[in-house]
Chains A and B, each alone.
Chain A
Amino acid sequence: AQSVTQPDIHITVSEGASLELRCNYSYGATPYLFWYVQSPGQGLQLLLKYFSGDTLVQGIKGFEAEFKRSQSSFNLRKPSVHWSDAAEYFCAVDSSNTGKLIFGQGTTLQVKP
């Protein structure tokens, strides 16, 4: 069965520091991969997605993610974090283009001033 693992439940970074959130998936072929962000009391907003092609994907709000097939990873990065980036981040996979997303458990990002 497909699965998504976000190893870090909680991460704290200083404002202006770089950020990397880890995501590993379990699936035999290349899945469709997503990163979503959820602010408190809000729904989810898509940051970026990977279907095929260039393995480095640019998203909104200055985020990017790199697909590494050999490591079954899709890590999210941002060079300089802003206080407004504090939120919960979810990695998700759709293995067969069914519209059924399997989410990781999420990583809560705290930003120190």
Chain B
Amino acid sequence: KAGVTQTPRYLIKTRGQQVTLSCSPISGHRSVSWYQQTPGQGLQFLFEYFSETQRNKGNFPGRFSGRQFSNSRSEMNVSTLELGDSALYLCASSFGDRAVTGELFFGEGSRLTVL
């Protein structure tokens, strides 16, 4: 069974641009969560989706948005990029109705560099 797939793995953008990251969960998983990982702030929760609905949102500005499609694939978008958005963005999927009661399976991440 394929794991969580994130694309692209690496990307470089400049300030003011926008970026879209994609996440394909493990087949059969309906919950997808996104996390941002930076050296300074560590791992921070962005949002969680289940059956195309956002169930939880972290403390990030409105420039960060996401969505989930009917096939459970998810995208996150960051608009008007800032230098501080440079980070590893991790997607995680889970089978269960509540993400935490099942195991979270993480992808390898998308590393975004903002110049």
- A-to-B contact residues, CB < 8 Å: 32, 36, 41-46, 49, 51, 90, 92, 94, 97-106
Question: Apart from A43-B92, A46-B103, what 16 extra A-B contacts exist at CB < 8 Å?
Answer: A41-B108, A43-B107, A43-B109, A46-B105, A92-B43, A98-B55, A98-B56, A99-B33, A99-B48, A99-B55, A99-B56, A101-B33, A101-B35, A101-B104, A102-B45, A104-B42
Q: A94-B100, A99-B33 are in contact. Are A42 and B108 (CB under 8 A)?
A: yes
Query: Is B31 engaged at the interface, CB distance under 8 Å to the other chain?
Result: yes
From A36, A43, A99, A104, give the contact of B100 (CB < 8 A).
A99
Q: Is the CB of B48 within 8 A of A100?
A: yes
Q: A101 to B108, Cβ gap below 8 A?
A: no
Which residue from chain A places its CB closest to the CB of B45 in the assembled complex?
Answer: A100
6 sample A-B contacts, Cβ–Cβ < 8 Å, listed by A number: A36-B106, A51-B101, A99-B94, A100-B33, A101-B43, A103-B43
What residues on A are CB-neighbors of B90 within 8 Å? 43-44
The one of A49, A103, A105 that contacts B103, using a Cβ cutoff of 8 Å: A49
Chain A residue nearest in CB terms to B40: A105
Interface SS of chain B: strand
Contact between chains at A90 and B107 (CB < 8 Å): no
- By a CB distance below 8 angstroms, the chain A residues around B100 are 32, 94, 97-99, 101
Do A106 and B45 touch across chains, with their CB atoms under 8 A apart? no
A45: contacting residue among B42, B43, B44, B106, CB under 8 A: B106
Task: Judge whether A101 and B106 touch: CB under 8 Å.
Answer: no
